[in-house]
Amino acid sequence: MTISDVSKKYGISQDTLRYYEKIGVIPPVNRNESGLRDYTEEDCGWVELAACMRSAGLPLDALTEYVRLSREGDTTIPERRQLLLEQKERLMIQLKAIQETLERLDYKISRYDKAMETGRLVWD
């Protein structure tokens, strides 16, 4: 796949894809005879992982470290697992905060629903 195809498929700009490759968020992409990037299914898997992890707020340095460890082989499985566990814990903390905010919003919305039914706002 061309960089343009990958960009469209994953909703990541071509500049970002180049940057991700440059800093190691995705491994180096093979080039065709003309020197253009030629993304394989494996490359796309890395792009998909990067997009997923970035949308979850994973920092670039953590992603870069994960890719570096992955490229070193199976001896780094424990380190990769630990990195993912740490990121999961961070996400769980964020999720808890978001859940608490949603509950607060639900409460406030229910009060306004009641006010619309009764014609007055009452906070109990």
Rounded to whole angstroms, the Cα distance separating 42 from 30 reads 11
- pLDDT in 10s for each residue of the chain, 124 residues: 999 999 999 999 999 999 999 999 999 999 999 999 999 999 999 999 999 989 888 899 999 999 999 999 999 999 999 999 999 999 999 999 999 999 999 999 999 999 999 999 887 6
Answer whether 0.85 is exceeded by the pTM: no
**Given this model, what pLDDT does residue 124 score?**
63
- Domain-wise residue ranges, the chain: 1-72, 77-124
Which class does domain 1-72 fall in? mainly alpha
Task: Kindly give the residue spans of alpha helices, DSSP state H, lying in the chain.
Answer: 3-10, 14-23, 41-55, 60-72, 77-118
Q: According to the model, what pLDDT value does residue 122 have?
A: 84
Task: Kindly report the length of the chain.
Answer: 124
> b/e for 38-63, b at 16 or more Cβ within 10 A?
ebeeebbebbebbbebbeeebeeebb
